[in-house]
Amino acid sequence: MEIRLAKLKDLEQVVFILNEATLELQQKGIHQWEYPWDKNKIQNQIKNNYSYVLLKHNKIIGTFCINDINYINDLTVDEESKYLSQIAILPKFQGRNVGSAITDFTCSFVKGLNQTLYLDCWAGNEKLKEFYLRNGLEYIGDFPEEDYFISVFKYSCISSSK
């Protein structure tokens, strides 16, 4: 598998993957994402170098974003932190360690920057919460969103010399 920054030519495939993953989540009763995705929002993420794609045999099978963050809802985060969001994998590739490849890549990325990584998910998604814990992320707590709660996780690799 290969991970790289998304390019504008990837826009249609990134939106397709996000829409497919959203429909799959909604079928499971998880309504964290709105459907359909806003193509302009995704285009801006690509232009700002926040959007990444995961390829298998030169085909895009997943996408995610990494951007700077100062807070999640009312939770103030460590200085110089990154936020991992919009992790979406085509349903037929889920359960094949693709998510682990994304979290491994992102944790290595923030470690190289000597920063902290945060991410969240719908608090009711027990399977995903267990996945994050198994992949070395620390559970911070549950926090209110508009009409549900999110569980926040953190990966810290800040050295004490900073």
Separation CA 42–CA 74 (nearest Å)? 25
Mean pLDDT of 125-133: 92
pTM above 0.85, yes or no: yes
- Average predicted confidence (pLDDT) for the chain: 91
pLDDT given for residue 29 in this prediction? 84
149-156: strand order across its sheet: 2-5, 51-56, 59-72, 75-89, 116-122, 149-156, 138-144
Q: Which two tokens stand for residue 3?
A: 């991970």
Confidence class for position 154, pLDDT limits 50, 70, 90: very high
- In the chain, where are the structural domains located? 2-156
Mean predicted confidence (pLDDT) in 128-148: 91
Question: What is the pLDDT averaged over residues 121-137?
Answer: 91
pLDDT at 161: 41
Whether omega before 36 lies within 30 degrees of 0, making that bond cis, reads: yes
Q: What SS3 class is residue 158?
A: coil
What's 2-156's CATH class?
Answer: alpha beta
